[in-house]
Amino acid sequence: MRIVSSVQEMQRQSREFRPRSKKIAVVPTMGSLHEGHLSLIRLARENAEIVVTTVFVNPTQFAEGEDFTKYPRDIERDSLAAESEGTDILFVPDVEEMYPKGFRTFVEVPGLSGLLEGKSRPGHFRGVCTIVAKLFNCIMPDVAVFGQKDAQQVLVVSKMARDLDFPVRIIVAPTLREGDGLAMSSRNVYLSPVERAEAVVLYHSLQLSERLIGNGERNCRLIISEMEKLIMTKPSARIDYVSIADASTLMELESLQRGDVPLLSLAVKIGGTRLIDNLTIKVP
């Protein structure tokens, strides 16, 4: 595995693969790699000859007062993990490399970006789209792998790639969970043992909504209220949002119809740690 930290060198490497018709897959991450990330690398491996994993804690996608400075970083561990899963190039630029002095240009997808996560984290998707567009220009991938864990990110980035004609196929990987159901996340390390035990309520509330829908409940407000009641039984939990929305437009739904595949998503603060999770369900 080669470790590359300059944009120019990354582009040079990518251009070298082109004439040899080698398909390139990129797996963008913010590092602190866990099994969820590694499953993306494995999926990338299955879909391309060359896998580029990127590790970059992107300052522009953190809103004011969020955890940019304390976000967990461990590049040595990440590079061992990325290599053991078959990464060919680990791209690890620093902030000055990606945002040199005088940087001015941003990519935005209005509408989709203003809902759910975007409502709670102003500017988040502007930062995400900008860095993903830049990574696409650095790596020139044929395939990009993203996790369903960040369902709205998948929608926003797919729209951006279509609108800007990036010739990239986006592959979505399922959410990997801990044994008790908590979605794997680099932020889980922030949780105290008590918070860690209570954090599984995000997943339990999604399972509850699945049961309610399975039993014939179709009123979204009622389903959300049952999920909220369950979450509020945990002293460390503070709800940011619980949503049942159309899985492609993210518009909130009032009621469900047979055959709908809504996106159920939520963001909850467990102590000081903001966690997200989601599920798509086919309404029976």
Kindly tell me which residue out of 36, 93, 127, 141 binds ligand AMP, with binding defined by CB under 6 A: 36
For residues 154 to 173, the per-residue mask of contacts with ligand AMP, x marking binding by CB under 6 A and - elsewhere, is: -------------------x
Q: DSSP E strands: which ranges in the chain?
A: 2-4, 24-29, 50-55, 89-91, 143-147, 169-173, 237-245, 263-270, 273-280
CA distance to 87, 135, 169, per residue, from 142 (Å): 15, 12, 6
Q: Which residues inside 216-235 make contact with ligand AMP, applying CB under 6 A?
A: none
- Give the three-class secondary structure for 165: coil
State the nearest-atom distance from the C-beta of 71 to ligand AMP, in Å. Answer: 9
* 146 lies in the site for ligand AMP, by CB under 6 A: yes
State the nearest-atom distance from the C-beta of 73 to ligand AMP, in Å. Answer: 11
* Binding range to ligand AMP, per CB under 6 A, among 33-41, 74-82, 238-246, 247-255: 33-41
Kindly tell me which residue out of 37, 45, 121, 274 binds ligand AMP, with binding defined by CB under 6 A: 37
Count each helix (H run) and each strand (E run) in the chain, helices first: 10, 9
For 217-234, the DSSP string reads --BHHHHHHHHHHHHTTS
* Binding range to ligand AMP, per CB under 6 A, among 75-83, 176-184, 212-220, 273-281: 176-184
State the nearest-atom distance from the C-beta of 203 to ligand AMP, in Å. Answer: 11
Catalytic residue at 37? yes
* Binding range to ligand AMP, per CB under 6 A, among 31-39, 69-77, 219-227, 257-265: 31-39
Given a contact cutoff of 8 angstroms between Cβ atoms, the answer to whether 219 and 255 are in contact is: yes
* 40 lies in the site for ligand AMP, by CB under 6 A: yes
Given a contact cutoff of 8 angstroms between Cβ atoms, the answer to whether 24 and 142 are in contact is: yes
- Give the three-class secondary structure for 141: coil
Q: Which two tokens stand for residue 245?
A: 């929305």
Binding site for ligand AMP (CB under 6 A): 29-30, 36-37, 39-40, 146-147, 149-150, 173, 175-176, 183-186
Which residues have a catalytic role annotated?
Answer: 37
